Amino acid sequence: GAAIALVPSRSAETFGLAAAEAMADGLPVAASRVGALPELVPDDALAVAGEAESLAAAIERQLADAGAPRRARERVAGLCSPAAVAAKLAAIYDGRATAAQAA
């Protein structure tokens, strides 16, 4: 029954699993602009780490945006779904194989 998930990290997150899980369930997230969270959470949902006013503004923006739940689900699917991750890994491995062959 939550309306929004908060991830007010003050230190670097290496991935942000709590944010990804909330987004996958269609829950908008307001998070700190720290660590890997900016790669996962949309820019308008990010706040300066440790600044309550900045977090409050990010919360207000997300709650005022009726499309935020759908976009959260779409964003995390595009970044974190098994198919998306597999494609990114394949590209990395293909790049290494191509570089090794050129050497």
User: pLDDT tens per residue, the chain (103 residues)?
Assistant: 899 999 999 999 899 999 999 999 999 999 999 999 999 999 999 999 999 999 999 999 999 999 999 999 999 999 999 999 999 899 888 887 666 566 6
Identify the pLDDT of residue 97.
62
How far, in Å, CA of 41 to CA of 20, rounded?
A: 8
Half-sphere exposure of 87 toward its Cβ, with a 13 Å CA cutoff? 8
| 26: region left, alpha or beta (phi > 0 left; psi from -120 to 50 alpha) | left
